[in-house]
């Protein structure tokens, strides 16, 4: 599977199954990784926000999220095969985690929402090991406190729902300390799952 560029932002031409294969290899290679789900709003934000642009350019995997990304890719002659959204990746990662015993942590969204999303995920995969839910805050002054909470829970997979660009910046800023094998910004996914 190849990688294209739209306005300087790399996007991987992965299907959902391929994205999950990449995620699985990230979980097994001993390193720490970041996945971004790139929609048109990400690409526009990256044009005016150099820090966000740098994070997208350094991420290990950028999935095409949103029909507009597919349209732009086809328009410039580098078509992509399909979309891979935050909701799809969250469900796929939950399946992977339940199958292989990986621990999952849910950071972000309004108080109680991550817990409600966890209830939904556990009802679908009863063996799923969700080791923490924390609404928290994307402001840097809370980084240290949130790092402690996450490091004590020792997750393999960290889902961060602070909306873009804050969730991607939070992950890039904190991963050198927490070194979670796989961290991914998931936007409104917890709200969606909690219904």
| Nearest Cα to Cα of residue 101 among 181, 22, 185 | 181
Q: Please say which residue, 95 or 137, places its beta carbon nearer to ligand UDP.
A: 137
Q: Give the Å distances, CA to CA, from 160 to 21, 77, 107.
A: 20, 33, 5
Residue 2 CA to residue 168 CA, distance in Å, equals: 22
For residue 99, the minimal CB distance to ligand UDP (Å) is: 27
For residue 40, the minimal CB distance to ligand UDP (Å) is: 11
Q: Please say which residue, 18 or 191, places its beta carbon nearer to ligand UDP.
A: 191
For residue 29, the minimal CB distance to ligand UDP (Å) is: 27
Q: Please say which residue, 73 or 85, places its beta carbon nearer to ligand UDP.
A: 85
For residue 186, the minimal CB distance to ligand UDP (Å) is: 8
Q: Give the Å distances, CA to CA, from 173 to 27, 52, 76.
A: 20, 11, 33
CB of 123 within 8 A of CB of 99?
A: no
Binding footprint of ligand UDP on the chain (CB under 6 A): 108-110, 137-138, 161-164, 187-188, 190-191
| Torsion sign over Cα 5, 57, 52, 63 | positive
For residue 139, the minimal CB distance to ligand UDP (Å) is: 8
Coil, strand, or helix at residue 130?
strand
Nearest residue to ligand UDP, using CB?
188
For residue 165, the minimal CB distance to ligand UDP (Å) is: 8
DSSP H or E run through 194:
helix 189-194
Please report how many Cα atoms fall inside a 13 Å half-sphere around the Cα of residue 21, on the Cβ side: 6
Q: Please say which residue, 6 or 117, places its beta carbon nearer to ligand UDP.
A: 117
Residue 88 CA to residue 96 CA, distance in Å, equals: 12
Q: Please say which residue, 132 or 138, places its beta carbon nearer to ligand UDP.
A: 138
Q: Please say which residue, 98 or 161, places its beta carbon nearer to ligand UDP.
A: 161
């Amino acid at each position: 599977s190849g990688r294209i560029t739209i306005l300087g932002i790399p996007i991987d031409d992965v299907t959902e199954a391929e994205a999950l294969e990449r995620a699985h290899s990230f979980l097994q290679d001993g390193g720490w990784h970041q996945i971004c789900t790139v929609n048109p709003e990400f690409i526009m934000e990256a044009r005016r926000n150099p820090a966000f642009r740098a994070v997208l350019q350094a991420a290990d995997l950028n999935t095409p999220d949103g029909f507009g990304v597919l349209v732009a890719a086809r328009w410039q002659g580098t078509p992509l095969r399909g979309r891979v959204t935050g909701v799809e990746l969250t469900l796929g990662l939950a399946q992977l985690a339940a199958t292989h015993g990986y621990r999952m942590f849910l950071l972000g969204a309004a108080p109680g929402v991550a817990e409600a999303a966890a209830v939904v995920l556990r009802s679908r995969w009863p063996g799923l090991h969700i080791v923490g839910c924390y609404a928290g805050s994307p402001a840097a002054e809370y980084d240290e406190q949130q790092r402690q909470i996450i490091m004590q829970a020792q997750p393999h997979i960290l889902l961060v729902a602070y909306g873009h660009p804050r969730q991607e910046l939070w992950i890039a800023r904190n991963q050198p300390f927490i070194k979670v094998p796989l961290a991914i910004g998931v936007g409104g996914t917890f709200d969606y799952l909690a219904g």
